[in-house]
Amino acid sequence: MLTPASDSSIAAAAALLRDGECVAFPTETVYGLGADATNARAVARIFSIKQRPSFDPLIVHVADAAAIAEFATDVPPLARALADALWPGPVTIVLPKRDVIPDIVTAGLPSVALRVPDHPVALALIRRASRPIAAPSANPFGYVSPTCAEHVESHLGGLVPLILDGGPCRVGLESTIVSFSSGMPTLLRQGGVPQEVIEDIVGPLVVLDRDGPIQAPGHLPSHYAPRVPLSVITAAAVVPVVDRHHAALLSIGPISNSAEFERVVILSPTGDLEESAANLFAAMRDLDAAGVAHIYAIAPPLRGIGRAIADRLQRAASRDKL
């Protein structure tokens, strides 16, 4: 059931969580499918609802930075500095875990991913439930993440007892993930907080090579993928006219050379990267529903949140390569 977030619906959602049920809720990044992170059976339901492989660990959402000490053992000063500077916000910090977090949450890893979401509904829900909330994005595994409550309902509506509607997500892409679990701070996923902002706080990050060994199971090359095949291109001009019929062109800003495409989607009229990030996943879903045969996405500039947009487009494009 999709319900506007209010004091009473948040209280009902918190009661469901305490009873071991799953609920969907808004965060500033994407909607999450939450369960009590200390209840292994409740967390198991997340995996079955999402059809998520059990080797893919979940992020644990907490109400404030003080919770780090409850769920993590070693907290290096740089991790603390990152939390103090950017929480609540779209960055997830991976640290050695304490035993209260069941193995199913972390897929057996000795580390836990923690985040304080910057959304009043998410924070109210965590506080009301008095529990840490394990939550992946509320989409079937591998598909595009939901950035509004209707996206959740369209795929998981029959499977989740309550979807709290808090309107569209402000950031629209998942959190940036930084690991402190083994020595040097390591960037595991580009996301809502740009790499540059994180490096200003913790210094240079080790950035994992996308084509290297998979460090965290969730970092599969194919992810965030619409059903329609997608290619990342440098400019519209590289697509021959014959290939434009039945195809969509997806661009950060206004574009020339877009004649003959069946659909042209401009993510931001001014070419703004943050606005583009906020609109990207909804645009992919719309194009899936529109029935185009192919999506050509123009690569964004690799600065700020453009890096996360580029990452999501690359993974969407890898869909057929698994």
Residue nearest to ligand TXA (CB): 218
Q: In what order do the strands lie in the sheet with 176-179?
A: 2-4, 163-165, 23-25, 32-36, 133-134, 59-61, 111-115, 91-96, 176-179, 186-189, 206-207
Closest CA to 164 of 106, 107, 117, 94: 117
**Interface residue with ligand TXA, options 72, 126, 188, 249 (CB under 6 A):** 188
- Least separation, in Å, of the C-beta of 95 and ligand TXA? 8
Is there binding between residue 147 and ligand TXA (CB under 6 A)? no
Q: How far lies 239's CA from each of 260, 262, 320, in Å?
A: 10, 13, 19
Q: Find the binding residues for ligand TXA in span 213-272 (CB under 6 A).
A: 216-219
Is there binding between residue 94 and ligand TXA (CB under 6 A)? yes
Is there binding between residue 136 and ligand TXA (CB under 6 A)? yes
CA angle 139, 147, 118 (to 5 degrees): 110
Mask 120-139, x = binds Mg ion (CB under 5 A)?
A: -----------------x--
The residue among 92 and 276 lying less far from ligand TXA, judged by its C-beta, is 92
**Interface residue with ligand TXA, options 13, 62, 93, 112 (CB under 6 A):** 112
Q: Which stretch binds ligand TXA (CB under 6 A): 27-35, 72-80, 255-263, 285-293?
A: 27-35
Is there binding between residue 305 and ligand TXA (CB under 6 A)? no
Q: Find the binding residues for ligand TXA in span 42-61 (CB under 6 A).
A: 56-59
Q: Which stretch binds ligand TXA (CB under 6 A): 79-87, 112-120, 154-162, 229-237?
A: 112-120
**Interface residue with ligand TXA, options 65, 83, 135, 277 (CB under 6 A):** 135
Q: Which helix (H) or strand (E) holds 153?
A: helix 149-156
The residue among 43 and 295 lying less far from ligand TXA, judged by its C-beta, is 43
Residue nearest to Mg ion (CB): 137
Please state, in angstroms and rounded to a whole number, the distance separating the CA atoms of residues 78 and 185: 8
In contact, 123 and 23? CB cutoff 8 Å:
no
- Least separation, in Å, of the C-beta of 191 and Mg ion? 11
In contact, 132 and 71? CB cutoff 8 Å:
yes
In contact, 1 and 91? CB cutoff 8 Å:
no
Is there binding between residue 88 and ligand TXA (CB under 6 A)? no
Is there binding between residue 251 and Mg ion (CB under 5 A)? no
The one-character DSSP state at 266 is E
Is there binding between residue 194 and ligand TXA (CB under 6 A)? no
The residue among 59 and 317 lying less far from ligand TXA, judged by its C-beta, is 59
Indicate the length of the chain as a whole number: 322
The residue among 281 and 296 lying less far from ligand TXA, judged by its C-beta, is 281
Query: Would you give the end-to-end CA distance of the chain in angstroms?
Result: 34
Beta strands in the chain (DSSP E): 2-4, 23-25, 32-36, 59-61, 91-96, 111-115, 133-134, 163-165, 176-179, 186-189, 206-207, 230-233, 247-251, 263-266, 294-298
Q: Which stretch binds ligand TXA (CB under 6 A): 15-23, 110-118, 195-203, 239-247?
A: 110-118
- Report the SS3 class of residue 188: strand
- What are the residues binding Mg ion (CB under 5 A)? 137
- What are the residues binding ligand TXA (CB under 6 A)? 27, 29-30, 32, 56-59, 90, 92, 94, 106, 109, 111-113, 115, 117, 135-137, 174-175, 177, 179, 188, 216-219
